[in-house]
Amino acid sequence: MQEPKLERKSEGEYTLDVRGQTCPFPQILSQLALEKLREGSILEVITDNPPSARDVPIALRKKGYEVEVKKSNGQWHIVVKK
Amino acid sequence: MELEMEKVMRFMGRYSLGRDNGMGSLHFLRIKIPGGVITSEYFKGIAELSREYGRGYAEITDRQDIQLHWIEGDDALDIFERLEKMGFTTDMCGQAFPGAGHGDVRNIVGCPLSGVNKDELIDGYPVIKELTRFFTGNEDFLDLPKKFKFSISGCMYNCTRAEINDMAFIPVVHDGEIGFTVLAGGGAGKTLPGPTLAKPLRVFLSQEEVFDVAVATVEIFRDHGNRESKAKARFKYLLDQIGVNGLRNMIEKKLGRKLEDYHGDVSREWIEHTGVGEQKDERYYVCVPLIGGKLSSDIMEWYAGLAEEYGTGDLRLTTFQNLIIVNVEDKEGLLKELGKEGVVLKGIIPKWTAVGCASDFCGKTKEYHSKEIVRDIVEHLETSYPNIFVNQDFKIGVSGCPNNCGYSVIASVGLEGRLIRVNGSVKQGYDIYLRGKLENGSIGRRVAEGVPAENVVNVLNKLLEQYKIKLKNESEIRFVDFLEKLSDTEIKKLVEVT
Ligand code: SF4
C-alpha cells in the first residue's frame, strides 16, 4: 500500500494526498500532518472519497481549524489553515 | 516530509469505517466475525467497545458481522488496536468511491452451527478461517472491482442463503465421497444484471480444493471484472458475460487441472436453526431471536455470561441476525434464565427469520425504518396469528432501498423502501414484493409500488386474512403456497391501498 506523503508546495503551504484512502484515514492523516506544521501554515488535503470529503472538514472545524472545501474533477481539495 | 505513520499504516487495508447518514451517526464499524463464530470473551470485548464508543448499541448483520454506530474518527485507532488484539478486522467499506474498484472480500458466512451441527455433512469453518487469513490485508485483493461475498457451509440446510452470494460452497455426497459443489454469481442488489440467484458450476470439490478454487475465482474477478462503472462491477455481471462454463474453464486453467463433474441436486431448504435443538454431541444449541439483530452492550454481556454459565462460552451469530448459545447441557436451566428476562424461545418462526436492514443509520428511509417494520410485522403475527406460524415459516425481508441488504427480493414477502409524495409532502413508502424463494429459487415479483409506510402492515394483513379463510377448506396449505396460487387480479385487489 502506498504511504501517503505530505509535500511542501511553497513556503508555509503543504499538500497531503490521501486519494484512495477510506475513512477514518484521511481524517487521521490530516490531523497528523497538521500537528507537524507551524502556526499559520496552509494544508491542502486531496481526497476522492465522498464520506471523507464530508467528514474531514467537520472533524477539523470541531478542532478549531479554518477549513474551505473545493471540488473539481471528482475530487475534493480541503484547504485547512493552522 | 515524513509522517509518523507506523501506527496508522498498520491498520490500513485491514480496518475502515463505513459511512452512516442517519440517527446522528457519521460512521459505522462493521466487525467481521468469520462464520459467525465468537467466544464470550470477545463478545464482551465488543460490548465494551460499543459502550465506550458506540452509545451502547450494536447489531448483528445478515452476514454475521457485528456493527456499531456513532463511531468518531478520532477514536478509530484505539478501537482498531483493541479489535486487532481480539483477532478481528472490519469490512473495507470502499463502496462510497464514485467509480468501480476498492472492493474487498467480505465476511465469509457459514452455518452458525458448524462443528456441532448434527445436520452437517462437513465442518466448513476451517476453510472459512483459512480464507479469511489469506484475504485479510492482502494487498493483491484490496482493489477488486467491487466487494466479493462467499458462503461456505457444510450444513444440509441452506442457512446461509447460498444463492445470493458471489460464490457459495455447498455440501454434497458424490460417488460416496463428501465434498462441496459450487454456486456462482448471485447477488440481491440492484446492480447489473439486477437481482440474481447464483447458478451451479456443476463441479465436485474435495474439502482440500475449496481454498484454491475460491482464490482462483477472486483472482479472475480482480483481473476480468468490469471496472467501467459501479453498476457493472459486481461478480454477477462478469458471470453473466462469461457464463458458468466460461468461469469453470478459467478456474481450471488457473489451477492447471480439470475439476470433477457434479450434476446432482443443489437445492436445499432455506431455514434458520430456530429455538432449541440437539447437537451432534447430544448437547444443545439455543437460538435467541433478535428483531433486526438489535443488541445493547448490557444485553451482549448478559448473553456472554449465560454462554459461560450454561455452555462453554461459545456463541454464534446467524445470517438471520440472531444469536446462538452452543454446547448447552442444562437447557432447561438456560431457558428459565432467559424466560426471567422475557426471552421466550417458543412462538412463531418468522420472529427468527424476519430480517431488516440498517436503513435508519444508512439514512435511506425517512421514517418507519426497516427494523421498525420488521418489529411491527412480527408483533402483528404474534398477536393475530399466534398458532398459524408456529409450525410454518415464511420469509419477511425489509430493505430501505434497492441495494436490498434486507433481501426483499428473495423473501416470501419483501418490502423495499422508496420515498413517495403525499399531498405535496415527501413521506416514506415501500414497494411490496411477493413470492421470492431460494428453494428452486425465484426472485420475488413487485406487486405494489410506493405503499405508504403506515399501511404496509394492513396490506400484509389482508393477505393473511385471505389465507386464514383458505385454511378452513385446505388445512394443509402453507402461506407461501397460498401466495404462489394467487392470480394477478387477486393480488392486485389484496395489495390495493384503500
Ligand atoms: S438496503 Fe439500502 S437502506 Fe438498507 S442498509 Fe442497504 S443501502 Fe442502506
ipTM for this prediction: 0.94
What pLDDT was estimated at residue B497?
64
pLDDT at A2 over 80: no
pLDDT tens digit string along B134-176? 999 999 999 999 999 999 999 999 999 999 999 999 999 999 9
Q: Which residues between 96 and 155 in chain B have a beta carbon less than 8 angstroms from any beta carbon of chain A?
A: 96-98, 102, 139, 142
pLDDT at B38 over 90: yes
* A1/B9 Cβ within 8 A: yes
For ligand 1, atom 7: residue with the closest CA: B403
Average pLDDT, chain B: 96
Mean pLDDT in residue range B42-55: 98
Angstrom distances, CA of residue B139 to CA of B94, B104, B143: 14, 10, 8
The pTM (predicted TM-score) of the whole model is 0.97
pLDDT at A32 over 70: yes
Q: Closest Cα to residue B396, out of B479, B325, B323, B474?
A: B479
pLDDT band at A52 (very low <50, low <70, confident <90, very high): very high
List, in order of start, the domains of chain B with CATH numbers. 2-261 (3.30.413.10), 351-494 (3.30.413.10)
Cα-atom radius of gyration of chain B, to the nearest Å?
A: 22
pLDDT tens digit string along B218-263? 999 999 999 999 999 999 999 999 999 999 999 999 999 999 999 9
* B74/A5 Cβ within 8 A: no
- Please indicate if any CB of chain A lies within 8 Å of the CB of B8: yes
* CB-closest option in B1, B8, B142 to A29: B8
pLDDT tens digit string along B296-340? 999 999 999 999 999 999 999 999 999 999 999 999 999 999 999
Phi, psi of B454 (to 5 degrees): -70, -15
Q: Which residues of A touch B8 (CB under 8 A)?
A: 25, 28-29, 32
What pLDDT was estimated at residue A4?
81
- Ligand 1: lining residues by beta carbon, under 6 Å: B 357-359, 362, 364, 399-401, 403-406
What pLDDT was estimated at residue B7?
80
- Please indicate if any CB of chain A lies within 8 Å of the CB of B74: yes
pLDDT tens digit string along B26-36? 999 999 999 99
Residue in A6, A10, A22, A61 to test binding to B, most B beta-carbons within 10 Å: A22
Cell numbers 446492480 correspond to: B191
* CB-closest option in A7, A25, A58 to B12: A25
What percent of chain B has pLDDT above 70? 99
Cβ atoms of B226 and B146 closer than 8 Å: no
Q: What is the DSSP letter of B74?
A: G
Is A23 annotated in the active site? Answer: yes
* A58/B8 Cβ within 8 A: no
* Cα B81 to the center of its chain, rounded Å: 27
pLDDT at A1 over 70: no
What pLDDT was estimated at residue A6?
87
Cβ atoms of B171 and B151 closer than 8 Å: no
CA distance B155 to B379: 30
Q: Closest Cα to residue B292, out of B383, B365, B243?
A: B365
What pLDDT was estimated at residue B495?
86
Mean pLDDT in residue range B100-128: 97
* Nearest chain A Cα distance for residue B48, angstroms: 21
pLDDT at B2 over 90: no
Cell numbers 465442518 correspond to: B123
Give, in words, the CATH class of A6-81.
alpha beta
What pLDDT was estimated at residue B64?
98
pLDDT at B286 over 90: yes
- Long-range contacts for B442-445 (Cβ within 8 Å, ≥24 apart)? B442/B197, B443/B195, B443/B196, B443/B197, B443/B409, B443/B410, B444/B408, B444/B409, B444/B410, B444/B411, B444/B412, B444/B414
Phi, psi of B370 (to 5 degrees): -50, -50
CA distance B221 to B226: 8
Those residues of chain A whose CB sits closer than 8 Å to some CB in chain B are 1, 3-8, 14, 20-25, 27-29, 31-33, 36, 48-51, 54-55, 58-59, 74
pLDDT band at B465 (very low <50, low <70, confident <90, very high): very high
* Cα B149 to the center of its chain, rounded Å: 10
Cβ atoms of B77 and B21 closer than 8 Å: no
Mean pLDDT in residue range B20-47: 97
Cα-atom radius of gyration of chain A, to the nearest Å?
A: 11
